[in-house]
A and B are shown apart, each in its own frame.
Chain A
Amino acid sequence: MLRIFTLVIALAWLPFAVSAQELQTLLQSHRDVIIKPSRKTVGPTLDALVASGLPSVRGFLEAWQEKNVYLRAEDDQFYLGSDADGGLTLLDVDTGAQAVTGVDKKDAKQIKPNGGVRREIGSALVAFQLSDPDIARRTQALDALARSLDAAQLAPLIASIDNETDAGLKTRKQKLANYLQARFGESPAIRVAAIENLANDLSVDGRAVLSQILATEMLVAQQLPDDANVAEVLEPGEGDLDRIAAYQTLVDDHGLPALVVPADIRRALEANVDGGIVGGIPVARLDNEAERARAYDALVEAGKVPARVSEAAIDQAFADWGFYAVYLESDPTITEAAETAQATAQTRVTLSQTADIGLDAISLASIYFLAAIGLAVTFGVMGVINMAHGEFIMMGAYTGYVVQQIVPDYTLSLIIALPLAFAVTFGAGVAMERLVIRWLYNRPLETLLATFGISIALQQLAKNIFGTQARPLTSPGWLDGAWIINDVIQISYIRIAIFVLALTFLCLLLLILKRTRLGLEVRAVTQNPRMAASMGINPEKIKMLTFGLGSGIAGIAGVAIGLYAKVTSEMGADYIVQSFMTVVVGGVGNVWGTLAGASMIGGFQKGVEWLNPSNTLAAQTYMILFIILFIQFRPKGIVALKGRAAGD
């Protein structure tokens, strides 16, 4: 009676007991792998664990990854453990309840999977982490998933999408799920649908998925297999497949006779020299290919070396064997869809790149404009060429650097640096005009040389004061980063700021020249200094102020350029020739001309760089040649002054 009762009790407990021991049982059935896992064997076990859907699996996997799983010698069962002072505390793998405390380390074997296995466990855990309440862990899991796309992750990823609360992560999950479906989806229809979505995806990842689907391998066969999904029939000697390489694959894979290249002939001849004679020909005569070929053929007849493969034999081999690029993906509907999607994506990428180049060109043009506009004022309006203009740019940049050393707040220091740079270079410009240039007004070529003297002196002075290494001019935090329009088009905020600055100066300068008393007087002095003088204008003062204004703008340009490039004593020299080009191409004496010149030079340079992206030096070379030719057709620049103002 008692026994029956016990049995009933035991039977009633049985389901609980089984469920309570489920994971342990499962683990026991994979015992060997769990105790001694390797990266290669652990996969099926992990799949089985994840597929079991047990709630305790996750805790176990995490513990396993952290080397916190122990096998207790006493009952040969797996436990989760934690190491404390008094010995190990072991927890039951199914319930997580505390089983034993204070176990001696000798009585329980710690299971230590190696790094490769732990990574495998980690990717199995991704499935759980995708639904983790902590957003940081979900993001981390997604990052891990995106790094290595794997078919096993598809189901858990899709399952986690619906419950995702964060909108950003949800889109990312959908995107990744789409990638996975495109590559590993269950049916061709699902895959094709996913691939079609990829046509709108410009990101590098999306395009990588497409090219992975479209990956090919070379197939060499006499008869094309019926089920092969051929991407292209390759002709040896055309495209990427050169004849030698193609024949070499035939040699390697299909046992055709090996090619005998000139180096082989040489080696064979060297090996068979016999008393100064090879194949009946004296060694001294073997200094040309024809004699060597004869000697080698003699060796062939003697049976000492393999025969040469003739061109005809190679042609025959190519006629017998076909070379095919075959998709790794066997389903043609999928590769077709991927081809279409890739073409669409490529078109969109090209369009975006064009827009991106356009933005780059505008930003380069603004830099040239900023560097050149001060020169345009001095060179154009006064007919004075200032070779030290580049050094004024440098002076402005160093002013910005010095201000940053004193005022640590980057925003504030920039606000101080801009007017201060203007003031410093304005002063330098006025001093130079008073001391040097005004004595040389009717000798323009000598102005060029005198200002060049000032330029080398200033450059060396800067080197002596600030050293030869580049000094940083750090931009404020709000100018960091870039404005991202899509995956291809983006432009950094500094470049936008420079564009805005250039635009501001354009407006400011137009305002000064067209709407103020000073501008009126400047234009009057430009056109006819003596007439202007008789109208009560002081030409000396106007010229001095104009020169100061042009130099001051160079100083501000220096701060702007210093923000995105490094500040060195040679930075001015880097811009001076381009600035002259800008002024000359644009047309002297006109603000609009400088704008046109800067746009043209910036656009042209970026255009050439686009055609040949690896070589910016070539771009500059072609740009200069283009300018030299351009001057042939419009010697006075794009916007030429007419009539008396032209000065000749």
Chain B
Amino acid sequence: MTVSGLDSSRAALAAEARSAAWLSTMVQRLIAGLVILLAWELVVRGFAPAYVARPTGILMAMPKALSNPALWHAAAATLAAVAQGLAIAILLGTAIGLAIGRSSIADRMLRHYVNGFYAVPMIVILPLLTLWLGYTGAARLATIVFAALFAIIVNVADGARSVPREYVEVARAFRSQRLRMLFEVVLPASTPYFLAGLRLAAGRALIGAIVAEFFTAIAGLGYFILYATRTFRHDEAFVAVILLTAFGLAFDALVGWGTRRFLPWYRRDEKAE
């Protein structure tokens, strides 16, 4: 046997071992999942009223719920509001974050306010927003923007602050304009921070949207859940919760994929909340 033949058979063996390990992991996870679902089912059947959500009930309700246009209208309304709010928060947050990160005057003026607002649970301003804007979509949008904005500002400011000095010096040496340097050097260099902030902001925005819908009773997934549970259709409501979780996970996966694909040189740990 040649050396290369030996190598390839060794590689095949290793691959086989890897796929066996993968398979056993999957089997373990599958079993754990089944055990959890079974326990849930039995506990609800044994101790809870009939309307409480349980796995078989959710499974049965799924086709009906997923073919119900009301669910998709609600999902579209919530997601549109979240997208709109995130867009506003990104524009505002990037501008303010860049200012704080690159200008010491802006930093000194705004830092304490930004950190302060970041620490405040944003849903607390809901009563105020409904006072200002009424029980409308505008109140929901404002909640989303408030919930998302400060996560983006804090992270973009962090990123803009930590741009390597050499980049800035080279740009200066080539007599780059201040604004151009901001957009063509500082902003791209702080993209990983921005993405970490975006992930946090998206989660907060979704929570803000749901809470606003609970509070103002305007159409959306939050209100769908509220209404379905109030009319004791917990299984249907839980389908909406699953949908919400799926949106969150999908967005996370999308940002993670984008980071690996377009910024392979920089993978920062998720910034803590």
Are A and B interaction partners?
no
Name A residues whose Cβ lies closer than 8 Å to a Cβ of B: none
Name B residues whose Cβ lies closer than 8 Å to a Cβ of A: none
